[in-house]
Amino acid sequence: MPSGPVLVLGAGHAGFQLAASLRQNGFDGRVILAGDEPVLPYQRPPLSKDYLDGKTGLDLLLMRPEAFYRDHKIELLHGMQAEAIDRAAKTVRFATGERVEYGHLVLATGARNRQPPLPGIDLDGVCYLRNLAETDELRARLTAAERIVVIGAGFIGLEFAAVARGKGKQVTIVEMLDRVMARVASPPVSQFFVEAHRKSGVDFIFGAQAVQITGAHGKATGIDLADGRHLDADLVLISIGVVPNTEIAAAAELPAANGVLVDEVLLTADPAVSAIGDCASFPCRHAGGAMTRLESVQNAADHARCVAGRIVGKPHPYTALPWFWSEQGELRLQIAGLTTGFDRTATRGDVESGAFSVFCYRGDELAGIESVNRPADHAQARRILAAGRPVTPEQAADEGFDLRAAATARPG
């Protein structure tokens, strides 16, 4: 048990879960949760879906109502931007000038939108979609916008495009690579989703690079591409990934490289400091032990539970199976495991029906399973991968093969 308060920097999914898990595990010391946004901790996945679409209000976004923090004696600091860590004195200085002591510090600082060095990036009408304030701005602008250009064909760009097309807006997605979701999905899944979005009216330009956002009277009017083409737009969404917030850790001389570096129990080089969630780079069992930084609610929450257990005297290595999801209109993609670096795939189900799974292999090893509108496959996939149970490509492709039985079979 730490001799002083547990101070958590960051009130997103990881930070909230850490504070809640400490209380669930019986920790009775002070817990201080400091977030730089002026609102209660909230869920981020609905921002690009139901909240953006106006189907969900802020009340349903909140992790818990305000009474939860009071009842569980979690000291919640709103709108508090941490500026510096003094590891020797075990204090954090905030932008207000206030210094807060800690017995154990947990960095849950998350990540921020990657901003390309484009001329015109600061024009009115250039937007992002990661936090509540950005989404509120997009909701307001979406009503008046007619022609929208999205730079980036990842989860967020595609989810936003589905909402915008549902409102009858003209949407063009510009992507430097040759397919959608190239970082996280296999070619068969990418192809299915691009065809589905095209059927809904979304235009795609692949292998293209934006070189300038054009404007008039301070407002964005379109983008110029490297090949000389111009696309008109009254709203431009930048969705090209994120950058981990590691500056405060690096300034405190904590090693960082694409994330704050932690060990198998999520400790930094300082035994009084942990890092979790989007800002942390950890040795991932499911990536062969390679240092890995994941951007998912699952990883954030499981990181938090792991660290909370260690703080209350129940340490264990972090081995949770990564899983992800994306809802794009009526389509639901669920991914279990890490499918990057595969060299072979097997498809289960009928792609044309819009419900199928792709099993991705590295050599003979099953690395991950991508399921489109097949939640039962995803549920079994998580059990199969977490337990390391073998499923051959031939078995995966055979609809007669019982995945559930494979997931629950006794070892040996």
**CA-wise closest residue to 299 among 322, 319, 283, 266:** 322
Q: Are 32 and 78 in contact (CB under 8 A)?
A: no
Residue 37 clears pLDDT 90, i.e. is over it: yes
Tell me if 362 sits within 8 A of 323, measured CB to CB: no
- Bridge partner residues of 101 (DSSP): 91
With 90 as the cut, is the pLDDT of residue 412 above it? Answer: no
pLDDT of 1 reads 72
Mean pLDDT on 175-200: 96
Neighbours of 86 (CB within 10 A): 12
Cα dihedral 270, 274, 279, 284 in deg (nearest 10): 100
Residues 348 and 358: their CA atoms lie apart, in Å, by 6
- The pLDDT of residue 341 is above 90: no
How many CB atoms within 10 Å of residue 412? Answer: 3
DSSP bridge partners of 222 = 214, 232
Query: Residue 360: which pLDDT band, with cuts at 50, 70 and 90?
Result: very high
pLDDT given for residue 2 in this prediction:
78
- So what's the pLDDT on residue 408? 87
pTM over 0.85: yes
Does the pLDDT at position 391 exceed 90? yes
* Chain segment 83-141, per-residue pLDDT in tens: 999 999 999 999 999 999 999 999 999 999 999 999 999 999 999 999 999 999 999 99
**CA of 159: how far to CAs of 155, 183, 328, in Å?**
6, 16, 5
Of 341 and 179, the structure prediction assigns the larger pLDDT to: 179
Cα–Cα nearest to 80, from 127, 29, 41, 138: 41
- Evaluate whether 311 touches 27 at the Cβ level (below 8 Å): yes
Q: What pLDDT shows up at residue 359?
A: 98
Mean pLDDT of 367-389: 95
